Amino acid sequence: MHTHRRLKSLIQKKQKKNKMKGPISQFIEKHYLHFNSASLVDAAKEYEQQLANGAKMLVSMAGAMSTAEIGKIFAEIIRQDKVQIISCTGANLEEDIMNLVAHSHYERVPNYRDLTPEDEWALLERGLNRVTDTCIPEHEAFRRLQKHIYKIWKDADDKGERYFPHEFMYKMLLSGVLEEYYEIDLKDSWMYAAAEKNLPIIVPGWEDSTMGNIFASYVIKGDLKASTMKSGIEYMTFLADWYSKNSDNGIGFFQIGGGIAGDFPICVVPMLYQDMEMHDVPFWSYFCQISDSTTSYGSYSGAVPNEKITWGKLDIKTPKFIIESDATIVAPLIFAYLLDL
């Protein structure tokens, strides 16, 4: 009898907990039971537990996630303080804002696999830059931003001021100069949500982006000084200071894709421990990667989480997850779970 009551109590507690979660989360918990789907659930639950324990979370974002409109859900993750620092490519930094100001001019090409070289050239002549099945308009996106960001770069250059790439973007967003161009709901822009919170962003290799190329062109023409833009080394020194000051309860690492957006920030731990000889620095407290890379090819992006132990990035006991799937499918589901949707 006592056992029956205890079992009933446990069931009621579980039902109460499930009621707090919305239909998407409940669907995931009911049906995602094996293989990559189970890893998705495990990773989402541990992400949630990390935050509950007082840990902070870094989200790194490679690929074309901004053009995939991850902002529709990631912006809410930012607003609800479920991420405390972001690392992303220069493309993701700018393409969220491009979508904000030029969305109606984008074109989708569902049959992109069938395009001939002549078809691709025709897109170029129309000023459309293709990202898989989505074309970004040259004039309405790239050049529209260029017009306004140059003024902000130039103003800082003339005053002898220096900022990080994301700080210049924040200035442009918060100045209001882009408001006349808004074509999507502002709440769906993750960059605007980040700007409102002045969330720290690390943008390694920013030069490898359209705005980075444009900035370089002004430097070559003598209109701007290269030093006006803070460098990648300065990003690392900023991150080292931030990590040291925020790791008392742990810092987790949630990696979307691979590449420099992931490897650059995760290396701050071995840098502090091995190169700075700060032997009390904690390892990352959580690690999850959504990956489509193959381990046997020898790439960083395809490396299994345990390999990072040998580099001094993760501890033996660090909760580690890898979800081998499409990030445009997986990331929104994990974020939905964190938001109790």
Please identify which residue in the block is written with the tokens 């109460």: 16
Which of 9-13, 117-121, 178-182, 243-247 is the least confident region? 9-13
- The reported pLDDT for the residue numbered 84 is 98
- The reported pLDDT for the residue numbered 12 is 52
Angle between helices 327-338 and 35-52 (to 10 degrees): 40
d(CA 141, CA 178): 11
Domain coordinates of the chain in residue numbers? 23-102+111-338
CATH of 23-102+111-338, one of 3.40.910.10, 3.10.20.30, 3.40.190.80, 3.40.190.10: 3.40.910.10
Percent share of the chain, pLDDT over 70: 94
d(CA 303, CA 299): 6
Give residues with Cβ within 8 angstroms of 50, minimum separation 6: 57, 250, 252, 285, 286
| pLDDT for residue 13 is more than 90 | no
Segment 23-50, tens digit of pLDDT: 999 999 999 999 999 999 999 999 999 9
Alpha carbon of residue 205 to chain centroid: 14
Average pLDDT, the chain: 94
Segment 218-272, tens digit of pLDDT: 999 999 999 999 999 999 999 999 999 999 999 999 999 999 999 999 999 999 9
Distance linking the first and last C-alpha atoms of the chain: 37
- The reported pLDDT for the residue numbered 274 is 96
- The reported pLDDT for the residue numbered 230 is 98
Give residues with Cβ within 8 angstroms of 98, minimum separation 6: 66, 136, 141, 142, 145
**Single pTM value for the model:** 0.92
